[in-house]
Amino acid sequence: MTPEMTSCTHNTLVLLPEKKGRLQCRHCHLTISPEELGDSFCPECYEIHSEKRYDFNKLDAEDPGPARYRCEECGVIIFYKSPMNIPRQTLRND
């Protein structure tokens, strides 16, 4: 069964916060923010294997990706990439 599309016009949008740099465990690949981790070990490795692992890779925070908005009426997440990232040759003023 396919979910039905809503007829929402998405008039009430809320800008969601940018994704910041995240850390990824080298063993279980859990992705977590530095604030959540603190100076601690990987909670997933500890819960599953009872091992305190401190090995993390920093994920790229240079490209935060498109802006994300949430419609307050229907809850859908909308991604928007600014046209300013399009090469100048493709923009036209007709």
Q: Along the 94 residues of the chain, how does pLDDT read in single tens digits?
A: 445 666 888 889 998 877 677 899 999 999 888 888 988 999 999 999 999 999 999 886 656 667 889 999 898 988 887 666 555 444 444 4
Instruction: Yes or no: say if 25 and 53 are a contact pair by the CB < 8 Å rule.
Output: yes
pTM for the structure as a whole = 0.48
CA distance 45 to 17: 28
E-strand stretches of the chain: 13-15, 23-25, 31-32, 56-58, 67-71, 77-80
Query: Cβ contacts of residue 54 below 8 Å, gap of 6+?
Result: 41, 42
